[in-house]
C-alpha cells in the first residue's frame, strides 16, 4: 500500500509516490521490499529478516535512517511481540511488515487524523502515538487488578501470587518497550541527517515526554507489586508468629501437668496421698488451678 502525506493520507499507486512534491508512506511485505528496494533510492541493502529484530531501535545511515519495531501485543501481553522494520529519508518512510500491524495503524490514522500542516514529522508522531494510544487505560486496568489483590490480602484471603507474578512480568515487558520507544524518539529528534524540519522536531520531543510518563507509571506499578508481596509476606509472618505463640503457651501450660503425671506415675509404696481417698481429686484440682493461673498470667502479659 502507498500513500501521499497531504491534509489527509491519500492512497496512491507505486508510481505516484516517486518524484512528487508530497512525502510518502509505504507499507510493504519483506518480499515486496526486496523487489522494489532500488526504486526508493535510499542507498541501503537492508535484509528485513524480522527474526533478528528483537528491539525497537533506529540506526542512522549515510542516505537513510533504518530501524525496527518490537511491540508487545496489547491484546495478548504474554504472546509473541509484533515485529517489523522501517526505512526513511527526507522523501518518506517505508514500513516492511510481514503482518498487518503497520497497516492497521495507518488505517486508524486515515480515519482519525486530518492535518493543517502535513509532513513526515507529524505522520511519524501520529504513528508512534497510535502504538501507545490505549496504554493509559491498560495501565489503569493493571492498577485495579493490583488493588483487588491488595484488598484480598487486607481481608485475610489467600493472595493470588500467580496473577501477581504475571502482572509483574507483563509490566517489566512494558517498561522495556517504553525505554526502547524513548531511545527511538530521541534518535529521531537528533535529526542527524537533517531529514526533518527543525520547527517540527517538537513532535518527537512531545512523544518522548508522553512515553516517559508512561514509563514512570509502570515503575510505580512495579513498586506496588513489590509492596503487595511484602505485605502478604508480613501477614504470613504474623500468622506464623501467632501459631508459634499459641503452641508455646500450650506447651508451657502442660509442662507442670506433665511433671505431676511423671511423679505420680512412679511406683513407690510410700508416695503422698497414695492411699488417701482425696488424693485423686486433689491432683485434679491442682492441675486445674495450674491451668487457670497460667491462662491469667498469659492474658496479663498479652501473650494470648
Is residue 40 included in any domain, yes or no? yes
Is residue 161 included in any domain, yes or no? no
Q: Domain holding 259: CATH number?
A: 1.20.58.340
Domain edge (last residue) among 102, 131, 160: 131
Judged against a pLDDT cut of 70, whether residue 50 lies above it is answered with: no
State how many domains the chain has: 2
Grid cell in block for residue 300: 496479663
> Which of the listed ranges 24-33, 130-139, 266-275 does the model predict with the highest average pLDDT?
130-139
Judged against a pLDDT cut of 70, whether residue 2 lies above it is answered with: yes
User: pLDDT tens for residues 255-293?
Assistant: 877 877 776 676 666 666 666 776 667 777 877 888 888
Is residue 230 included in any domain, yes or no? no
Domain edge (last residue) among 131, 164, 196: 131
| Distance of alpha carbon 231 from alpha carbon 37, whole angstroms | 57
Q: Which domain holds residue 268?
A: 242-300
Bridge partners of 95, per DSSP, are: 27, 86
Q: Which residue has the higher pLDDT, 173 or 16?
A: 173
Whole-model pTM? 0.75
Judged against a pLDDT cut of 70, whether residue 52 lies above it is answered with: no
**Would strands 82-89 and 92-96 be described as parallel, antiparallel, or unpaired?**
antiparallel
Which stretches of 113-201 are DSSP H helices? 120-131, 135-154, 161-190
Distance of CA 84 to the CA centre of its chain: 22
User: pLDDT tens for residues 17-26?
Assistant: 877 788 888 8
Co-location of 5 and 124 in the same domain: yes
Summary mean pLDDT of the chain: 83
H or E, element range at 283: helix 279-300
Is residue 120 included in any domain, yes or no? yes
Is residue 105 included in any domain, yes or no? yes
pLDDT, position 269: 66
Grid cell in block for residue 12: 496512491
H or E, element range at 94: strand 92-96
Grid cell in block for residue 111: 480515519
Evaluate whether 5 touches 119 at the Cβ level (below 8 Å): yes
Amino acid at each position: 500500500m502507498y500513500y501521499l502525506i497531504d491534509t489527509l493520507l491519500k492512497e496512491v499507486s507505486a508510481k505516484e509516490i516517486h518524484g512528487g512534491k508530497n512525502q510518502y508512506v509505504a507499507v510493504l511485505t519483506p518480499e515486496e521490499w526486496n523487489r522494489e528496494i532500488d526504486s526508493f533510492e535510499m542507498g541501503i541493502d537492508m535484509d528485513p529478516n524480522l527474526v533478528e529484530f528483537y528491539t525497537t531501535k533506529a540506526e542512522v545511515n549515510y542516505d537513510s535512517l533504518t530501524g525496527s519495531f518490537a511491540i508487545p501485543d496489547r491484546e495478548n501481553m504474554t504472546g509473541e511481540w509484533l515485529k517489523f522494520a522501517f526505512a526513511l529519508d527526507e522523501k518518506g518512510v517505508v514500513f516492511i511488515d510481514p503482518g498487518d500491524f503497520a497497516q492497521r495503524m495507518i488505517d486508524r490514522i486515515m480515519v482519525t487524523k486530518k492535518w493543517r500542516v502535513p509532513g513526515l514529522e507529524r505522520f511519524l508522531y501520529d504513528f508512534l502515538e497510535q502504538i501507545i494510544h490505549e496504554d493509559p487505560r491498560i495501565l489503569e486496568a493493571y492498577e485495579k487488578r493490583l488493588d483487588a489483590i491488595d484488598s484480598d490480602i487486607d481481608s485475610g484471603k489467600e493472595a493470588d501470587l500467580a496473577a501477581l507474578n504475571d502482572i509483574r512480568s507483563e509490566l517489566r515487558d512494558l517498561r522495556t518497550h517504553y525505554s526502547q520507544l524513548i531511545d527511538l524518539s530521541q534518535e529521531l529528534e537528533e535529526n542527524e541527517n537533517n531529514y526533518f524540519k527543525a520547527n517540527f522536531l517538537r513532535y518527537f520531543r512531545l512523544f518522548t515526554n508522553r512515553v516517559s510518563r508512561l514509563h514512570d507509571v509502570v515503575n510505580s506499578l512495579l513498586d506496588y507489586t513489590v509492596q503487595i508481596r511484602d505485605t502478604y509476606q508480613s501477614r504470613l509472618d504474623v500468622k506464623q508468629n501467632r501459631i508459634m505463640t499459641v503452641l508455646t503457651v500450650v506447651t508451657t501450660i502442660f509442662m507442670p501437668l506433665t511433671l505431676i503425671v511423671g511423679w505420680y506415675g512412679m511406683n513407690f509404696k510410700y508416695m503422698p496421698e497414695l492411699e488417701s481417698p482425696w488424693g485423686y481429686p486433689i491432683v485434679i484440682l491442682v492441675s486445674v488451678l495450674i491451668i487457670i493461673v497460667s491462662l491469667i498470667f498469659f492474658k496479663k502479659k498479652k501473650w494470648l
